[in-house]
A and B are shown apart, each in its own frame.
Chain A
Amino acid sequence: MGTEQAQSPEPQPKRKRFLGAFGAARDVMYGMASHDMSRYAIRTRASMEHLFILITMGDLLGVPILPPYYSLRLLPYVVPQVSTWKRRMLRERDITDTLG
């Protein structure tokens, strides 16, 4: 490695630059072609997971019909990211939000 570097000090940064440019081009392509699809899939999965957890929470705890008070008290433990979920659910939305 050291000998190679002594013989040709240039290739390493050049190669790094090339890989960097290739990586950037690949990212841009991904952004144009598939990023939107990935976001939609993530959004769908998140909604389904939240719904599933909330529906099955009572059964998971062995209490089929859980009183709302205890549901709300236990919610942060069942859904670890409850603060972000709450923010998502409570964020005021209008028609322009469907564009994003």
Chain B
Amino acid sequence: MGNTLVAIIIGVLAIYLGYRFYARRIDRTVIQADKKRATPARLYMDGVDFMPTNRNVLFGYHFKSIAAAGPIVGAITAAALWGWVPSLIWLVLGVMFMGWVSDYSAIVVSVRNEGNSLSATAHRLIHPRTRRLLLLFIFFYLLLIAGAFGNIVAGTLTDPRVPLGIVALAVLGLAAGHMLYRMKMDLIPVTLIVVGGTLLAIFLNASATGPVATTFKNFNTWLNDLRPGGIVTVLNPLNPAGKQSVPITISFVFWLFFLFGFCYLGAILPIWRYAQPVNYIGFWITGLTVVFAGLGAFLAFFIKHDLSTFNIAGFTHFGGPASIRASGQIQPLWPMLFVTIACGAISGWHALIGSVGTARQIENEEDMLPVGGGAMFGEFTLGLLSLLAIAVAAKPGATPVASFAQGIGDFLNIFRVPLTYGTALGFAAFVVIVITVVQLVFRLMRVTLAEGLGDRSPIFKNIHVGTLVSMAATFLLVISGTWIYIWQLFGAANQLMAALSLLVVTVWLASTRRNPLYAGIPAVFMYVTTMAADLVILYNLYKIVLVKQWGVAGHEIAVIGSLVTIIIGLILFVAALFIGWDGYRAFQRYRERPVEPAPAPGGVTA
């Protein structure tokens, strides 16, 4: 039986050993970071995109940019499927040998290539079509993020203890933008007003029997009574056999549209008006919750020993829990664990952000490791905290998000925060961290549609059309009902993106006569694993969702949704095959004829 202290000690050791002995060695001997070499931020300083920035500021910026819902949802889902032991092992080994490599190396390649993005570097080093394929890949990747996160947020908002804080976040986000940029108020009073207001709304809605939660409960019941069978019936493969047909309720659809409304504002309004203030409030809500919950998880062993003990199985079965195996679907630990837990161990999203945002602000090369690698180890702690929260608080019948919120409430209770308020903060932190990502994703999808289709169909240049088309596609994915497969497909796309970024890094290392193994081995492992996972997901979607629902009355939309998901999975698979093949050929080409002379042996520091 595990406990929080043991898991935290393992986590701290992983960070220390991984950073101190492996990451630093690679930085010194393979990359040979040199603080005297001019970085793009110094070379091309324009005061805007290229701007030398203090390493501590940049660490905070990079961490905030990469920390999203991935490590939280992935850890709590995987722990429920295979147990906490394999989840912990993958988190630890993943971040030690692959996670930091991906984040750090994406920054290195960009810094050493004039601040170019990964896709631009791939275009130059691998093949021109690699860039086009990557951009196609990215659009569907964004769609899967929206589908996976949208589903889980809408489901969480149907809990009557949650909505008021999120409504307040939207209203106060607008107010914060107005106060800061129109009324020119000082940041501190604005922070006190908007963060205080959001916290107040969260606490007012905290009690399940309180007036606010009761009102939301009655409202949801009223909505569901309008059409008791729901708007459509879908199949939930996580439910036990015989109980897999579930209705998509009207209250779920209502909160899904609320989410779309929230994100619509984020996608079409100027960033300063809504998206940034919402992110700013969200930072305080999630930051405070995560820091105190993390401290609580550590102190729990000494203060409330029973609270630190894990309540879930260490290991269920290689094929997942019995109910999953009985339903006929396949969920083998390899490769599925490695795509279910995405961002806490390794993530392609980080590489994208790092190459275009962080790399262009690196002041000197010695900052690349503490910023890129350090932030990834920081995100690992977020994944670890999520795993601890669900491990101590999981109860039969509770959803993973409810267990996570309960676990956060338990950890905050160490500091005498009432359990009801702590749990409400857990819910709020979860929804806030997800919703801020989803609004960014819709904004990016709108831009991608305008870039990709705007020349052929000018209507896609219209911001409303681009946003609404993105939301319609997301809606179809969400109401197909198979959240677990969409989540895993998102994880596969995310990890595949990490594999492809590592592939670009490996090719660059070969082209500069550096030892490519530290990036090449993780690239191959992640590539093979995620391609295999993609095939497993496609099999499950076909065998469990499509075949079982084909021709069944009332399941038509679920069938269309799963067909769309299968097509997306196939597109990602084929695109990755081409990129992998081109990458392999480029690697062979550069191994025979590197473009740069070999670096001096022994590194630049003694």
Tell whether A32 pairs with B61 under 8 Å between CB atoms, given A96-B119, A96-B355.
Answer: yes
The CA-CA distance from A39 to B47 in the complex, in Å, is 9
The CA-CA distance from A100 to B53 in the complex, in Å, is 14
Interface range, A side: 20 to 34
The CA-CA distance from A97 to B48 in the complex, in Å, is 13
- Taking the closest CB of chain B, its distance from the CB of A28, in whole angstroms, is 4
Tell whether A27 pairs with B272 under 8 Å between CB atoms, given A94-B117, A99-B353.
Answer: no
Report yes or no: B49 in contact with A31, Cβ–Cβ below 8 A: no
Report yes or no: B46 in contact with A81, Cβ–Cβ below 8 A: yes
B46-71 interface (Cβ within 8 A of A):
46-51, 53-54, 56-65
Chief secondary structure at chain B's binding surface? helix
Report yes or no: B444 in contact with A99, Cβ–Cβ below 8 A: yes
Contacts of A18 in B (CB 8 A): none
Q: Which of A35, A37, A39, A43 is the one whose CB lies under 8 Å from B60?
A: A35
B462-517 interface (Cβ within 8 A of A):
none
Report yes or no: B49 in contact with A32, Cβ–Cβ below 8 A: no
Report yes or no: A100 in contact with B353, Cβ–Cβ below 8 A: yes
Report yes or no: B276 in contact with A42, Cβ–Cβ below 8 A: no
Report yes or no: A95 in contact with B448, Cβ–Cβ below 8 A: yes
Report yes or no: B280 in contact with A33, Cβ–Cβ below 8 A: yes
Please tell me if B131 contacts chain A, counting CB pairs below 8 Å: yes
Report yes or no: B48 in contact with A28, Cβ–Cβ below 8 A: no
Chief secondary structure at chain A's binding surface? helix
A25 nearest CB neighbor, chain B only: B56
B444 nearest CB neighbor, chain A only: A98
Question: How does the 8 Å CB contact mask read for A75-100 relative to B, with 1 for contact and 0 for none?
Answer: 00000010011011000101111111
Please tell me if A46 contacts chain B, counting CB pairs below 8 Å: yes
A23-66 interface (Cβ within 8 A of B):
23-24, 27-37, 39-44, 46
Please tell me if B283 contacts chain A, counting CB pairs below 8 Å: yes
Tell whether A36 pairs with B276 under 8 Å between CB atoms, given A30-B57, A46-B48, A100-B360.
Answer: yes
Give how many A-B residue pairs fall within 8 Å (CB-CB): 113
B21-54 interface (Cβ within 8 A of A):
44-51, 53-54
Please tell me if B118 contacts chain A, counting CB pairs below 8 Å: yes
Question: How does the 8 Å CB contact mask read for B103-136 relative to A, with 1 for contact and 0 for none?
Answer: 0000000000000011110000000000100010
Contacts of B44 in A (CB 8 A): 84, 87
The CA-CA distance from A45 to B356 in the complex, in Å, is 20
Report yes or no: A37 in contact with B280, Cβ–Cβ below 8 A: yes
Report yes or no: B49 in contact with A43, Cβ–Cβ below 8 A: yes
The CA-CA distance from A41 to B273 in the complex, in Å, is 12
Report yes or no: A31 in contact with B64, Cβ–Cβ below 8 A: yes
Report yes or no: B48 in contact with A31, Cβ–Cβ below 8 A: no
Q: Which of B48, B64, B138, B276 is the one whose CB lies under 8 Å from A95?
A: B138
12 additional contacts (CB under 8 A) given A27-B56, A88-B46? A28-B57, A30-B60, A31-B64, A32-B287, A33-B284, A40-B276, A44-B272, A88-B49, A96-B356, A98-B444, A99-B352, A99-B353
List 30 A–B pairs whose Cβ atoms lie within 8 Å, in order of A's numbering.
Answer: A27-B54, A27-B57, A27-B60, A28-B57, A28-B60, A29-B60, A31-B63, A32-B64, A33-B60, A34-B280, A35-B57, A35-B58, A36-B64, A36-B279, A39-B48, A42-B47, A81-B46, A81-B47, A85-B46, A88-B48, A94-B131, A94-B135, A95-B444, A96-B135, A96-B352, A96-B355, A96-B356, A99-B352, A99-B357, A100-B360
